Amino acid sequence: MTASPYLPFAPVSARLLRLYRRSIKPIERLGHMLVFFVRALAAIPLTLRHYNGEFLRLLSNITWGNGSIVVGGGTAGVAVVLGVTVGALVGIEGYNFLDLLGLGPATGFISSLVNTRELAPLMAAMAFAMQGGCRFTAQLGSMRIAEEIDAMESIAIRPIPYLVTTRLIASVIAMIPLYAACLAIGYLTTQVVVQISSGGSTGSYLHYFALMLDGKDIIYSLFKAIIFVWIASTVQCYFGFYASGGPEGVGVAAGHGMRASITVMIMVNMLLTMALWGVDSGARFGG
């Protein structure tokens, strides 16, 4: 006969307290993240005044890295690859669908709307999150594990302005030309794919393309890309800055940061699209 395991008695109040603490933990994490975001934002004047050298170094590193595309590379190569891929997909799927209705050349209309308003900002931000953002998490996480951040505080270097705000500013500045290149490459790739698929004239495609392309849409699209990159930088720096658990914790923080940044970007994309363009696309084929 074996003795039954001893299970200590837990009062109902203690179990309810554990349940309550478990339920509010995500809210506490969100509040902590918002405070981190505000502190990083408020440190911009201090960063530009005292740490502009670090900002310029990070700007070059974010954009080009070591010149490769995969390991240690910058965001530029990934943004170009994603721009070509998305532009080709828009051209193939848009032309195949519209050609069934006899509107193949109107794929230019799809390109000017879909690439500008939705896909180009998201792809540019994804390229940054995959290359620059994950690197931020790994760098800050390694510094936290090695107690380098604590050492900075001990010698009166403010870690958030020096490590976080410099990365946020460099990310936003680097994203402006990268996004413009990604958008232009997407436009060009869609046009080339449609012309190869249909063999039609360039004039018909460009007519529909210019008909729906508005300069205001490009400004709004750039605004969306900047917001996405700022969100991704903040979230991924946050998880790296507060990483714990040794080298394994750095990898866990990188995964959590990537997942959280993509989720928030998709949600904010929906809100920004409705705020900037509403529910009316502005597209008109008839009178």
Residue 69 has what pLDDT?
A: 44
Residue 165 has what pLDDT?
A: 92
Q: CA dihedral defined by 75, 76, 77, 78, rounded to 10 degrees? A: 50
CA gap 5, 80 in Å, rounded: 61
Residue 159 sits at the vertex; the CA angle it makes with 154 and 165, to the nearest 5 degrees, is 165
Residue 4 has what pLDDT?
A: 57
**Any residues with CB less than 8 A from the CB of 158 and at least 6 apart, and which?**
43, 46, 152
Average pLDDT, integer, range 224-246: 91
Q: How far is CA 269 from its chain centroid?
A: 10
Kindly report the pTM of this predicted structure: 0.83
Residue 223 sits at the vertex; the CA angle it makes with 219 and 229, to the nearest 5 degrees, is 145
Give the pLDDT band (50/70/90) at residue 72.
very low
CB neighbourhood size of 170 (10 A): 22
Q: 90: closest CA among 180, 186, 182?
A: 186
Q: 232: closest CA among 125, 157, 155?
A: 125
Checking if the pLDDT of 184 tops 80, the result is yes
Residue 227 has what pLDDT?
A: 93
Among the listed ranges 203-212, 218-227, 249-258, which one has the minimum average pLDDT value?
A: 203-212
Q: 190: closest CA among 121, 97, 285, 109?
A: 109
Average pLDDT, integer, range 15-44: 82
Checking if the pLDDT of 20 tops 80, the result is no
